[in-house]
Amino acid sequence: MIKVKIENCIEEMLSYIESTDYAGYDPYDALNSPLIKLVSSKSKYLRIAFTQFFRRCPVNLRPILGIKKGGVAKWLQKQNLSRYLAQAISQPG
């Protein structure tokens, strides 16, 4: 029973990752916004404030501010981990 749940979870995760083409938002990508770059270009502390605000904000404002999804290394790591787990589960023994 648990093995089936784990296999389903892994399959769902792989499907989602592949459907997004391994792209996602980075928690620290606030400075990729053209608007935020313009506003905070001269203030180190304002850049830090924007970064921390977007990192902790419960609402995803990135699309509104023109921040695009990028290839995220963690997605690739999760994909590799899930493939490893799927192989380990499917092997008899």
Q: Between residues 49 and 88, which one has the greater pLDDT?
A: 49
Mapped to the 3 state alphabet, what secondary structure does 8-67 carry?
A: HHHHHHHHHHHHCCCEECCCCCHHHCHHHHHHHCCCHHHHHHHHHHHHHCCCCCCCCCCC
Picking from 28, 14, 32, the residue whose alpha carbon sits closest to that of residue 78 is 14
pTM for this predicted structure = 0.60
* Residue-wise pLDDT tens digits, 20-78: 777 778 888 888 898 898 888 889 999 999 999 989 999 999 999 898 887 766 666 66
**pLDDT on residue 86:** 72
**pLDDT on residue 68:** 87
Q: Please, are residues 28 and 93 in contact by the beta-carbon 8 Å criterion?
A: no
